[in-house]
Amino acid sequence: MEKIGNGSTWILYRQSNNYYLESLCNHGPVSYTYTIVLTASEIALYEKQGSAFLDELAHDVHYSAPGAKGSTSKFRPRKASDDVLASINALH
């Protein structure tokens, strides 16, 4: 696992051919990070548009509130596995 980029509200990681976006979600008094697996089309958009694409994607993750109880965020099923999250945490 390696950190390959960051913005003001996100960090991008790569492990082999897999990319993971850790987004900062801040909802009033509650803030947390939420890490998703990027799809092949998102990786292609990142390679084409760079960090501007990840700024937008992190914004979408944040406003979908994937960590909120009862959330119907489309990003919930894409949450990174516990093993991936452990690898990311080991970098900190």
- The string of pLDDT tens digits covering residues 43-64 is 999 999 999 999 999 999 999 9
Is pLDDT larger for residue 1 or for residue 69?
A: 1
Task: State the pTM of this model.
Answer: 0.94
Range with the lowest mean pLDDT among 27-36, 49-58, 78-87? 27-36
Q: Is the pLDDT of residue 8 over 90?
A: yes
Tokens 């803030």 -> residue: 31
List Cβ neighbours of 38 (8 Å cut-off, separation of 6 or more).
18, 19, 20, 21, 46
Instruction: With beta carbons less than 8 A apart as the criterion, state whether 22 and 13 touch.
Output: yes
Instruction: With beta carbons less than 8 A apart as the criterion, state whether 35 and 22 touch.
Output: yes
Domains of the chain, by residue range, sit at 2-91
